[in-house]
Amino acid sequence: VQLVESGGDLVQAGGSLRLSCSASGFTFDDYAISWFRQAPGKEREEVSCINNSDGTTYYFDSVKGRFTLSSDNAKNTVYLQMNSLKPEDTAVYYCAADTVKCGYGLPYPYRPYDYWGQGTQVTVSS
């Protein structure tokens, strides 16, 4: 089982990036994929989630209206399009897979997620 994030980079405030989360080793459609981020000295926080079974998406307030999730089930890949980036978006971004659908179950960190990626660094300069 593997989750691999890519697409992190250094970008100026107001810019855009697209992160990818490529999955292998499990039945992609049966899982929800969440994106988390962790800034230096801060707790890891969930920012968005997509149910691969039906494509429904969820966004937390900090990114709502700026970030967009999409999924290519044929490629077992989830994309996080990040627009209007702000310096406070600077963090390591992780994707995680779980059989619990978005919006159900206990929130992170009160339940374990099945699989995690290694993270990709996003740095937004002011």
Is the pLDDT confidence value at 41 over 90? yes
Q: Tens of pLDDT along 3-25?
A: 999 999 999 999 999 999 999 99
15 token code pair:
């810019």
Q: Which residue from 40, 54, 30, 44 is spatially nearest to 116, judged by alpha carbons?
A: 44
* SS3 state of residue 1: coil
pLDDT value, residue 110 = 85
Q: Tens of pLDDT along 81-118?
A: 999 999 999 999 999 999 999 989 888 888 899 999 99
Is the pLDDT confidence value at 39 over 90? yes
Q: Average pLDDT for residues 44-51, to the nearest whole number?
A: 96
Q: Which residue from 49, 52, 77, 78 is spatially nearest to 64, judged by alpha carbons?
A: 49
